[in-house]
Chain A
Amino acid sequence: MFQDSSLSGHSTGDYVKINIGPSHPAMHGTLRVVAWTDGETVIKADPEIGYLHRGVEKMGESLTYHQFIPLTDRLNYCSAICNNVAYEIAVEKLLGIEIPEKAQLIRIIMMELARIADHQVCVGILGVDLGAFTPFFYLIIQREEIYEIFEWYNGARLTNTFGRIGGVEADLPDDFEQRWKELRPNLLKAIDETDKLLTHNRIWMDRTIGVTAFSPEDALNWGFTGPCLRACGVKRDLRKDEPYYMYDKFAFEIPVGRHGDVFDRYMVRMREMEESIKIIDQAYKMYKELPPDAPLMAKVPKVIKPPEGEVYRAIESPNGELGFFIKSDGSDKPYRIKIRPPCYMVYQAFPEMVKGEMIADLIACLSSLNVIAGELDR
């Protein structure tokens, strides 16, 4: 028990300071929260980050534009492909080039697969953190199959280094259709099974509905993007609002929640997986209509030396708006790279979200935000 003047105004005046993390099963390895609690109620929480700060932005200043692509894998390692594309699209904007249609479609297909894999991890881990272990196993089996597609396309399971500046390096192999046909029903089945296990489960509903609800005004003020913002009821998705590639040609829904609580975040992610499957179907149909010898790369010089200038380009990654700001000084190395990680903005509102909640809900909230330390600390 101790007393702190910054916490005055509360009735009892006695608080317990609890340190959670960085080595704690619910803190995903590198997060740390210091919570001041009165009984089980959290009075104040102070997240500390930086335990995985690896200096990626500083490293980017001494690497060439191509050499930086592998480092973007290690930002949000749950969906490395989305990071690769976000960086490449920013460099392509800096160079002022448009990539061929076929490359766009391959990128879309792979990105949506990565989005499904990311949401699967998030939902699975949310279940594990709340004590529901089974959905994690159901989801991870299908996730392995997605990884097999990645591995078979570009040789790596997790850190894919997908794409090149100006396009993609290879066409989809011939048996993609076969693989996707096998995977598609299994994916839907895994989502359905998770749905059955969790969504109408009494314990799950009690643990998630109404927990750490957040209003849309607050969410926008704090800079929320992605599923956490959509759970608050704001219909905002960069795939629709600032369409890049051919996203404006696909028919898909943007699922939104109403209360911004843990349950809505979970539901938004579950529905988004289904929407991603729809996008892949349509993208593959369009891909098949293209001639087999359509170009995969735009004309890009071997040594990339963009003109002096600054650009910012963002895409909708599984967690929200993932943007890259690149400042070029005319040399073959970027002068400054700034990554705008989506969960960084979401996580900074964490103290506000958990204030007055129970300490067990703190764990549920953190898990539903899907904070990935790699992109949080960079």
Chain B
Amino acid sequence: MAINLSKGQKIDLTKTNPGLSKITVGLGWDTNKYDGGKDFDLDVSVFLTDASGKVAKESNFIFFNNKQNENASVVHTGDNRTGEGDGDDEQVQVDLQNIPADVDKIAFTITIYDAEGRSQNFGQVSRSYVRIVNDANSEELIRFDLGEDFSVETGVVVGELYRNGAEWKFNAIGSGYKDGLAGLTRDYGLQ
């Protein structure tokens, strides 16, 4: 049974699920409650950082123009996985046992494409969540609903997988960014 996390909560993944390796991180949201006349394009981006919290090389920034890291242990499945019944809008496949040793954290973010041009922000987005599914048996391990926290932000760090000794844990972060993907890439050391 899935565990519902609240903001700031940290939970062990591999310790309580021995042998866990291949997981799917699913992210979902609803938009356009009110017809703004403009399309809403939300994008999931993943930052693989080192121990200092920085992305050491461009191939460790996974987004719509770079769908996987070098050894394909983190793979963004793209925009075409919608409508699979479980409500995920985008998914990222992670093979925990094959994550390169120099990667300490895998941060999952959602940003609004062309937010400024289209005058959009997370105030127009509702029911955002992230969930982690064990690929071996399709069991949902954890779920984090982002709730009411965002309004003027155009980017959100939803949560991160991180090493803790020999184990992997998940941290439900839920922090907003007012300057979208640009702000995120800056803070993760890519600019």
- Do A and B make up one complex? no
B→A interface (CB under 8 Å):
none
A→B interface (CB under 8 Å):
none
